[in-house]
Amino acid sequence: MSQNRNTQKRKPRRGLPFNPFNVMWFIIAAVIIGWWLVGDTNSPSESSWNEVEQMVEKGQVEKIVVVNRDVARVYLTPQAIEEYRTQSEYATLPDHDWQFQFNIGSVDSFREDLKSAETEYGHAVPVSYANEGGGWGDALISFLPWLVFIGIWIFMMRSMSGGGGGGGQGVFNVGKAKAQVFDKNNANRITFKDVAGLEEAKVEIMEIVDFLRTPQKYRDLGGKIPKGALLVGPPGTGKTLLAKAVAGEANVPFLSMSGSDFVEMFVGVGASRVRDLFQQAKEKAPCIVFIDEIDAIGRARGKNAGVSGTDARENTLNQLLTEMDGFASNAGVIVLAATNRVDILDKALTRAGRFDRQIEVGRPDVVERRQIFDVHLRNIKTDSDLDREFLAKQTPGFSGADIANVCNETALIAARHDKKTVGKDDFMAAVDRIIGGLEKRNKIITPEEKRKIAFHEAGHATVSWLLEEASPLIKVTIIPRGKALGAAWYLPEERQLTTRAQMMDEMASLLGGRVSEALNFGEVSTGALNDLERATKMAYSMVAYYGMGSQTGNISFYDSTGQSDFAMTKPYSERTAEKIDAEAKALLEQAYAMAEKVLTENNEGLTRLAERLLEKEVVFTDDLVDIFGKRKKDIAKELAEAAQNAEPTMEEPTADEVAEA
């Protein structure tokens, strides 16, 4: 969506604005040039007293100037200069100023040496003393490393803090909040028309905007205007989109920042950015501040203590809490925030008085999915008879972002086949592709392997078809796709509660693949890796989370707060751990036995199904009905729905791929 982001107001860039940053570069450039110039001129030659003594002996020295009681500059007579210049070593000796210089140890010893030389050789040498601040070149040269260092440092700062929105530049603005300010007049701004479904969320959020626009109405009734609202929901469900739409519709200034914008390498930057953000907001009030992905800063405090960076984040969060308390509720600043991890947010943040409201932005249902398709198909040329209801039914559990992705993928697939419009087939291919990755028809699979895969998949299909409580299957394939060698699509019941019996049947169907291999080939393969992983997790969650273990009883070690770190310590004793292990193992064995029973009793049907799979590569509900008859439980009603709500189950990475991963 970033390409649709409303353009932010940005100061027009002038040619070379006078800012400290540019001045710094000028100085650095000047120094380098100066250094180069100085280095290029004829410079005096370094010398020593011994050499100079010889010059004194030959009467070549015109005078000596001692500078800063430290360096003696030797001025030669013009004839002597000529003489020296004939030697290649001294060819570049300067003909003005001094020609040699050397460090005198101390002025006293120098005077003594010179005096004795004068008396010995009979040539008087005038000596004078001077104090100098050193040439500008010298000074700059000695500063050069510093300047270069500072330059690099600034450059790093600049590139580190460059990311955010526009506005702030360089180290001098590191503590400034680079909030994105939305432009209401932008032609392709996002409006509520771009957000499909989410009706309740829209109503709630517009109510908040209404508070801002006509606060008096609410205050007259004695009501307090909320300070903030939290958009909560799984990824890709349109939280950010909704916030952008508010920006486009609200007609109040909208400052947007992402939680990660506050996090920076420098300690204290986050807190000062929060301060700055609210400062800006107060100046613009009434206005909306939007903090996307707030979990980046709002994570519960006091966790992972000692990990570096935690302190800075806590400061940022504390600052945010303070700011939200800071302005009176009539100050006209409302904070919107979005997250998909409300469970890990600090409780202080979600308490009433800060984010008073939580607005649920959930996964779309069939009707909403249809509307989302409508939004995203606006710019796609579809077949005139394209059934959008059908598309919505085929994409259960998809988020808005997934649907946007399907639409885009569809167009790509159609383009690949040089079509002028996109049709149902393209959509189905796109959906399958997004669920399971690309079909890999040319993956090399030997006939024996193919046979094993077919029996494995048929095992899943048979068990799930015949066990009453398992999700009915609607499609099985042995075409490799993505990492999976085969796949089965199930229709999960839309239910809020899952019973123990349902979980057991589910586990049995997961193990059905392995059982089938064992029964039909007398040996098992690595193909069941994913099945086993999922079944094991399920068994453990039954015991340790849902309190379904017969030995362990009604306990749960589930941590809804996400605050404690189970990686280090388990919240139960070794004895309990052993019990949990034993219980989970027993559950898995029980499920295995269930699958084994079903498959032994229906081995004939299983074999027929496997053969059919080998022959057709894909089988559907009808084939299962054909072989096993209708499921006792579902009958007509569910079958009608079956086509609608397929949910895929990917599985079976090969041993190689597991090794790769």
Asked if 37 is part of the footprint of ligand ADP (rule: CB under 6 A), the reply reads no
Active-site residue identified among 264, 293, 314, 457: 457
Asked if 404 is part of the footprint of ligand ADP (rule: CB under 6 A), the reply reads yes
C-beta of 535: minimal distance to Zn ion in Å? 10
C-beta of 526: minimal distance to Mg ion in Å? 38
Query: What is d(CA 305, CA 300) in angstroms, rounded to the nearest whole number?
Result: 11
- 10 Å Cβ neighbour count for 324? 20
Query: What is d(CA 407, CA 393) in angstroms, rounded to the nearest whole number?
Result: 15
Distances (CA, A) of 303 to 141, 311, 525, 565: 50, 11, 42, 8
For 612, phi then psi, to 5°, come to -65, -40
CB nearer to ligand ADP: pick between 233 and 549: 233
Among 80, 195, 391, 609, which residue interacts with ligand ADP (rule: CB under 6 A)?
195
CB nearer to Mg ion: pick between 401 and 529: 401
Query: What is d(CA 407, CA 422) in angstroms, rounded to the nearest whole number?
Result: 10
CB nearer to Mg ion: pick between 361 and 599: 361
Any catalytic annotation for residue 89?
no
Asked if 237 is part of the footprint of ligand ADP (rule: CB under 6 A), the reply reads yes
Query: What is d(CA 194, CA 91) in angstroms, rounded to the nearest whole number?
Result: 80
Q: β-pairing, 45-46 with 100-103? A: parallel
Q: Residue 612 carries which DSSP code?
A: H
C-beta of 189: minimal distance to ligand ADP in Å? 14
Which of ligand ADP, Mg ion, Zn ion, none lies near 228, with the C-beta cut-off 5 to 8 A by kind? Answer: none
Report whether the peptide linkage leading into residue 12 is cis, meaning its omega lies within 30 degrees of zero. no
Among 60, 180, 240, 520, which residue interacts with ligand ADP (rule: CB under 6 A)?
240
Asked if 1 is part of the footprint of ligand ADP (rule: CB under 6 A), the reply reads yes
Asked if 256 is part of the footprint of Mg ion (rule: CB under 5 A), the reply reads no
CB nearer to ligand ADP: pick between 401 and 614: 401
User: Binding string to Zn ion for residues 487 to 526, with x set by CB under 5 A, is what?
Assistant: --------------------------x-------------
Residue 290's contacts (CB-CB under 8 Å, 6 or more residues apart) are 243, 246, 247, 254, 255, 256, 257, 335, 336, 337, 338
User: Binding string to Mg ion for residues 223 to 242, with x set by CB under 5 A, is what?
Assistant: -----------------x--
CB nearer to ligand ADP: pick between 228 and 233: 233
- Give the number of C-alpha atoms closer than 13 A to the C-alpha of residue 310, restricted to the C-beta side: 9
CB nearer to Zn ion: pick between 238 and 513: 513
CB nearer to Mg ion: pick between 258 and 477: 258
Among 299, 651, 653, 654, which residue interacts with Zn ion (rule: CB under 5 A)?
651
Asked if 375 is part of the footprint of ligand ADP (rule: CB under 6 A), the reply reads yes
Stretch that binds ligand ADP, among 24-32, 234-242, 318-326, 640-648 (CB under 6 A): 234-242
Task: Note whether 483 and 446 are within 8 A (CB).
Answer: no
Q: Angle formed by the axes of helices 529-544 and 574-601, to 10°?
A: 130
325: left (phi over 0), alpha (psi -120 to 50) or beta: alpha
Which of Zn ion, Mg ion, ligand ADP, none lies near 162, with the C-beta cut-off 5 to 8 A by kind? Answer: none
Which of Zn ion, Mg ion, ligand ADP, none lies near 531, with the C-beta cut-off 5 to 8 A by kind? Answer: Zn ion
Task: Note whether 74 and 88 are within 8 A (CB).
Answer: no
Query: What is d(CA 193, CA 451) in angstroms, rounded to the nearest whole number?
Result: 51
CB nearer to Zn ion: pick between 73 and 456: 456
Asked if 531 is part of the footprint of Zn ion (rule: CB under 5 A), the reply reads yes
Asked if 99 is part of the footprint of ligand ADP (rule: CB under 6 A), the reply reads no
The closest alpha carbon to 269, from 310, 305, 313, belongs to 313
Kindly write down the DSSP assignment for every residue of 278-330, as one continuous string. HHHHHHH-SEEEEEESTHHHHBPTTSSTTSTTHHHHHHHHHHHHHHHHHS-GG
Which of Zn ion, ligand ADP, Mg ion, none lies near 549, with the C-beta cut-off 5 to 8 A by kind? Answer: none
134: left (phi over 0), alpha (psi -120 to 50) or beta: left
**Contacts to Mg ion by CB under 5 A:** 240
**Contacts to ligand ADP by CB under 6 A:** 1, 195-198, 233, 235-241, 338, 372, 375, 400-401, 404
Active-site residue numbers?
457
